[in-house]
Amino acid sequence: MKPSIPKGTRDFNPVEVGRRNYIFDTIKKNFALYGFQPIETPSFENSETLMGKYGEEGDRLIFKLLNSGDFLSKVNDTLYSEKDSTKITPKISEKALRYDLTVPFARYVVQHRNEITFPFKRYQIQPVWRADRPQKGRFREFYQCDADVVGSKSLWQEVEFIQLYDAVFTDLGLKGVTIKINNRKILSGIAETIGAEDKLIDFTVALDKLDKIGEEGVKKEMREKGIPEAALEKLQPLFSLKGSAIEQLQSLRELLINSTMGTQGVEELEFISKTIETLGLRTASLQIDVTLARGLNYYTGAILEVSAPAEVKMGSIGGGGRYDDLTSIFGLKDMSGMGISFGLDRIYLVLEELNLFPETISENSKALFLNFGEQESLYAMKAIKELRVNGVAAELYPDAAKMGKQMGYADKRDIPFTVLAGESEIEQQVFTLKNMKTGEQRSLDLTALKNALKS
């Protein structure tokens, strides 16, 4: 029987690991440039830390660890006789795999609040696990990359996170991403203005579909949800938001003139977009999008979402927002903050589709020294040692196999150079360097070999 791995999980080969690390490293480099520092939390948490934090569906999708030892001895006979999976779970499982990085971060902040200097800028890049039905592009184990700052309500954070997205995608060579921005307060303000505060979710769900089903479709859905005709008329300016950010903000300001909350949202958005305009982005563009309504159950201010360049069909490759209250679930109040995340797997697919992975990122040896026997290998190993100390990855073919086999190995491993050193090379104290692509051969002494392979 051929061994296999569980559904929804993946093995990564050296090329894939190299490419994933390239994305991680680019993100990490920029996180650090922006003053974020890494933390790590355990893969599993006490169940009570996670359960009840992601809704009923989330609770179901959390991977639970079976207690070790004679775990059934802790289940009393009456409960046991019910044979009820849901009821028995907390008795036989006390730990669970992390479902995201946000709840463990909140737990971390509360647990270590006396050691932390606030505002606390942390990033975290670790795998999470979800017992979701596996499907194309959805996995049971995947990495999340989050940066958050907690302990400040300053709008400069919003500005910085937009710059950070721009910096990462620019460094990845992914030009033309769109950073869409909205503000929860604007959505609330609109709902307030049209007298549909109690229908905020219905209203935003419908508005979110503007791209797909058009103005009439959205209005139809709103009507079906019981939003009155008079309210829809008031909404009209929203459907004709056009022009520059400044013009759009002006329309929004007029629409929301009677809502304190809405006006505050417009002012926040105005500060952010004006500042970004002054500072300039490198390759991304910032776009106001009042239909953007992700994370409404926890975002309280800015809402961000990043779209890949138009030529790639792909959902959002990043998103985030401002939240007023990260840690009150663990008893610590007034911890406002903001965070963003990067969608690693989708970014990977986008870079792959657009052929944007640099060729040189996978960790691979620069040269394979052929093995012609013990004395020749010792001669080779002296050179290899010298190369490695000088930062050149090199290796000796371990066995004195036929030359064709050794060359084939270099070829299959994509090693760009082979080095041949037999009796005559040893006599002249040189090495024959062969370029595996062009076939070109050169005879070089050790210093020249070092220089040739270093460049």
Binding of its own copies by 138 (CB under 8 A): no
Binder of its own copies out of 27, 101, 159, 453 (CB under 8 A): 159
> Among residues 209 and 282, whose Cβ is nearest to its own copies?
282
H runs (alpha helix) in 179-320 = 184-193, 200-207, 210-224, 229-239, 245-255, 260-279
Q: Select from 106-114, 204-212, 292-300, 344-352 the region that touches its own copies (CB under 8 A).
A: 106-114
| 294 annotated among ligand-binding-site residues | yes
Restricting to residues 323-342, name those near its own copies by CB under 8 A: 330-331
Restricting to residues 26-55, name those near its own copies by CB under 8 A: 28, 30-35, 37-46, 49
- Residue 77 sits at the vertex; the CA angle it makes with 73 and 83, to the nearest 5 degrees, is 100
Restricting to residues 107-136, name those near its own copies by CB under 8 A: 107-108, 110-112, 115, 117, 119, 121-122, 127, 129, 131
Task: Give the residue from 302, 317, 306 showing the smallest Cα distance to 272.
Answer: 302
Burial 12-42 (b: 16+ CB within 10 A, else e): eeeeeebbbebbeebbbebbeebebeebebe
Binding of its own copies by 9 (CB under 8 A): yes
Show Cβ contacts of residue 50 under 8 Å, excluding neighbours closer than 6 positions.
Answer: 62, 96, 98, 99, 103
> Among residues 26 and 377, whose Cβ is nearest to its own copies?
377
Residue 135 is given by DSSP the state: B
Restricting to residues 251-310, name those near its own copies by CB under 8 A: 275, 278-279
| 144 annotated among ligand-binding-site residues | yes
- The distance of closest approach from Cβ of residue 394 to its own copies in the complex, given in angstroms and rounded to an integer, is 7
Binder of its own copies out of 55, 66, 137, 428 (CB under 8 A): 66
> Among residues 203 and 323, whose Cβ is nearest to its own copies?
323
- The secondary element (H helix, E strand) that includes residue 163 is helix 156-171
| 138 annotated among ligand-binding-site residues | no
Q: Do residues 91 and 75 make contact, with C-beta atoms less than 8 angstroms apart?
A: yes
User: How many Cβ atoms sit within 10 Å of the Cβ of residue 242?
Assistant: 8
Binding of its own copies by 186 (CB under 8 A): no
Identity of the residue numbered 420 = L
Task: Give the residue from 288, 297, 302, 195 showing the smallest Cα distance to 250.
Answer: 288
Binding of its own copies by 68 (CB under 8 A): yes
Task: Give the residue from 56, 99, 101 showing the smallest Cα distance to 342.
Answer: 101
Q: Do residues 412 and 364 make contact, with C-beta atoms less than 8 angstroms apart?
A: no
Binding of its own copies by 102 (CB under 8 A): no
Binder of its own copies out of 388, 435, 442, 445 (CB under 8 A): 388
Binding of its own copies by 95 (CB under 8 A): yes
- The secondary element (H helix, E strand) that includes residue 316 is strand 316-323
- The distance of closest approach from Cβ of residue 330 to its own copies in the complex, given in angstroms and rounded to an integer, is 5
Identity of the residue numbered 384 = I
Count residues near its own copies (CB under 8 A).
110
> Among residues 239 and 409, whose Cβ is nearest to its own copies?
409
- The distance of closest approach from Cβ of residue 212 to its own copies in the complex, given in angstroms and rounded to an integer, is 32
Binding of its own copies by 2 (CB under 8 A): yes
- The distance of closest approach from Cβ of residue 403 to its own copies in the complex, given in angstroms and rounded to an integer, is 16
HSE-up of residue 98 (Cα within 13 Å, Cβ side): 23
| 324 annotated among ligand-binding-site residues | no
Q: Select from 214-222, 224-232, 378-386, 417-425 the region that touches its own copies (CB under 8 A).
A: 378-386
| 101 annotated among ligand-binding-site residues | yes
Binder of its own copies out of 10, 175, 220, 454 (CB under 8 A): 10
Identity of the residue numbered 194 = I
Residue 175 is given by DSSP the state: T
Rounded to whole angstroms, the Cα distance separating 110 from 150 reads 11
Annotated binding site: 100-102, 130, 144, 148, 294, 298-299
